[in-house]
Chains A and B, each alone.
Chain A
Amino acid sequence: MEIIVASSVGILTAGGVYLILRLRTFPVILGLALLSYAVNVFLFASGRLAIDQSPILSKYGEATYTDPLPQALVLTAIVISFGMTAVLVMIGLGAFLEADSDKIDIEAEDDSKEVQP
């Protein structure tokens, strides 16, 4: 199971970084979404991987439990990244409509001619 979790975090991160480096609005949004999936799985793994264990202490003593804190962290991270993606989509749409281009890079403006009046 470790190899599956580790490689999925790695592949999601690699895909996310690649898409962000495309520097166009839509791939970048997808890339950031992939990155946030990767980090969510990663946060889960930070509380040690466990199967079939509840995240609460059992009152019957012997039953082991899995760490509940990473689950709370992941929940917070999911909510925040979901909201942020929505904001990013709106700002990206606004920038596309204003500038008529979905490039994220801003090319250097040519203001050399205006220096000498």
Chain B
Amino acid sequence: MHWIILPVVLPAMVAPLIGFVMRWDITLARSASVATTILLVGISIGLAVMASGGETFLYKLGNWPAPFGIVLVLDRLSALMVLLTTVLALIVLIHAIATGWDNRGRHFHALFQFQLMGICGAFLTGDVFNLFVFFEVLLIASYGLMIHSGGKDRMRAGLQYVVMNLAGSTLFLFALGTLYASTGTLNIADLAERIPQIPPEEAALVRVAAILLMIVFAVKAALFPVQFWLPATYANAPAPVAALFAIMTKVGAYAILRVHTTAFGPGIPGTEGLAGTWLFPAAIVTIAIGAIGVLGARRLMPLIGFSVVGSMGTLLVAVAAFSPTATSAALYYMVHSTFAAACLFLIADLVVSRRSADRLIPEPATVQNGLFAALFFAAAIAMAGMPPLSGFLGKLLVLDAMREPGVMGWAWSAILIGSLLTILGFARAGSTLFWKSTAMTPEADNSGLEDVAPPNHATALQVAPSMLALAVLAALAAFAGPVSAYLEDTSAQLFDRDGYVAAVLEQPEEG
């Protein structure tokens, strides 16, 4: 049963090795990093198979029983998130190596592995304070990755990102202190057992803690009104890092799902309906901000950043319903939007690295214009939610889950109008980048900047990661039936609070 801790321990052991032993040898660091990530994919597939039976597995650190020691909990949801992380990490890592991004600064691979450790740990832990610690691990690695290879704009955007998240961490601690003072525990299962016993008129402090925690997770998930850091960060981060950050917003969404469903969720007198009431309008505004941002962006990277904001809004609209149907729709959309956003960033990197900047202005067509245009088109329709890729099905599932009167009108109009604006924004960007560029005569080139770099063709390895991400999206659409059946089981398990509490707290002693 030690498999559960491997996604945390393996990168934690490899990262210092890469950082200290292999720091001068990029080839060695690359092979170690790729080998570890492939191993992690294998382990997480194993964990997903293990969890698919519906059992909740427990890993007691130091073999201390649950409410006293820290536990890692593996159920379908955490197995799914770990699998999503490792597959995405492998795709991003191949891209970073093929395009040479990892060699433009120091310690890319060490930080990358620490980042994986933090993300996997955050998905696996069953303790809110431990969640805070893993948040800090993934954040401190992300600070390093964010400013990887340096530069004026990147350093300044990185500083903003760090300050934002440090303030968020402080708020997280305030929330945890309030929660501990009012319940006397920080174990999620123990919280789920104790909070229902608090009568509603005495639950004011618990409600404060629940809302504080939601604000903290909303900062990670880029929810209105704390979404403003995301476009600047994603636009200035190195493109492969921005693609990896596609999972970071999902950490926030996962934490809301896990904590606010299990500990403060439906059926608990003190906190019932609290999270959904605030989450829903905020998510609607987030969709609007994302769509307007996509339409108004003048550079390609912020445009994709705003489309990520919009997709987080759609995701959190479904999360805010806190019902099993809506949650399984949210999970499908979460898997989809992670790969769609990552894919867009990787393709944008291929395009932007062959242009003078990422401004959306016509420039002479680059080599392989057709190939990049086709890739961008495919990823853009996935992100905007058009058939045949999984974005369409994801949005359809979310819309289908939002049928309650009073919710339906807002959710449907926000998602549908938001999608339309996103399509318009991407269509404008794509036609400027690829069509107007082909219409330009080569003579116009002389008026602009001198063409310094000779035309460099994208190698097969450089295009492969984006293709792979698109293939995942296509597979997600093709196998939507089995996938959504699995996700329905996942959300049923998430809403089975008693089962979770029993599995964590009443585990029989075993050697």
Give the interface of A toward B (CB within 8 A).
16, 20, 25, 28, 32, 35-36, 38-39, 42-43, 45-48, 69-70, 73, 76-77, 80-81, 83-84, 87-88, 91-92, 94-95, 98-99, 104, 106, 111, 114-115, 117
Contacts and interface: CB of A to CB of B under 8 A. Distances in A.
A94 B72 CA distance: 38
Given A46-B181, A98-B152, 5 more contacts: A32-B170, A88-B166, A91-B147, A98-B155, A117-B361
B361 A115 contact: yes
B347 to A, nearest CB: 22
A81 B166 CA distance: 8
B143 A111 contact: no
B173 interface: yes
Listed from nearest, the 4 A-B pairs whose CB atoms lie closest are A46-B181, A95-B155, A46-B177, A39-B173
Interface in B167-205: 167, 169-170, 173-174, 176-178, 180-181, 186
B155 A94 contact: yes
Nearest to A28: B163
Contacts, number: 103
Contacts of B232: 106
Nearest to B136: A80
B310 interface: no
Contacts of A25: 159
Given A47-B180, A94-B155, A114 B361 contact: yes
Contacts of A45: 177, 181
B131 interface: no
Interface of B: 129, 133, 136, 140, 143, 147, 150-153, 155-160, 162-163, 166-167, 169-170, 173-174, 176-178, 180-181, 186, 232, 298-299, 359, 361-362, 448
B140 A115 contact: no
Given A35-B170, A42-B174, A80-B136, A106 B155 contact: no
Contact of A87 (B156, B162, B448): B162
A117 B437 CA distance: 12
Given A84-B169, A106-B232, A46 B178 contact: yes
Contacts of B155: 91, 94-95, 98-99
Nearest to B163: A28
Nearest to A29: B163
A91 B180 contact: no
B167 A73 contact: no
B16 to A, nearest CB: 15
A113 to B, nearest CB: 11
Contacts of B299: 111
A114 B449 CA distance: 13
A104 B157 CA distance: 8
Contacts of B359: 111, 114
Nearest to B236: A106
A76 B374 CA distance: 50
Contacts of B147: 91, 94
A115 B436 CA distance: 13
A104 B228 CA distance: 14
A43 B159 contact: no
Nearest to B144: A87
Contacts of A70: 177, 180
Nearest to A101: B156
A88 B156 contact: no
Nearest to B232: A106
A106 B181 contact: no
Contacts of A16: 170
B215 to A, nearest CB: 14
Contacts of B143: 87, 91
A43 B361 contact: no
B176 A43 contact: yes
A106 B156 contact: yes
Contacts of B156: 95, 98-99, 104, 106
22 contacts: A20-B163, A32-B170, A35-B167, A35-B170, A42-B177, A43-B180, A45-B177, A45-B181, A46-B181, A48-B181, A69-B180, A81-B169, A88-B166, A91-B162, A94-B147, A94-B150, A99-B155, A104-B156, A104-B160, A106-B153, A114-B359, A115-B298
B151 A98 contact: yes
Given A91-B143, A114-B361, A104 B169 contact: no
Given A95-B158, A98-B155, A83 B140 contact: yes
A25 B167 CA distance: 14
Contacts of A115: 298, 361
A25 B129 CA distance: 29
B38 to A, nearest CB: 30
Contacts of B167: 20, 32, 35
Contacts of A104: 156, 159-160, 163
A97 B159 CA distance: 12
B174 A84 contact: no
B298 A111 contact: yes
Contacts of A73: 129, 176-177, 180
Nearest to B357: A114
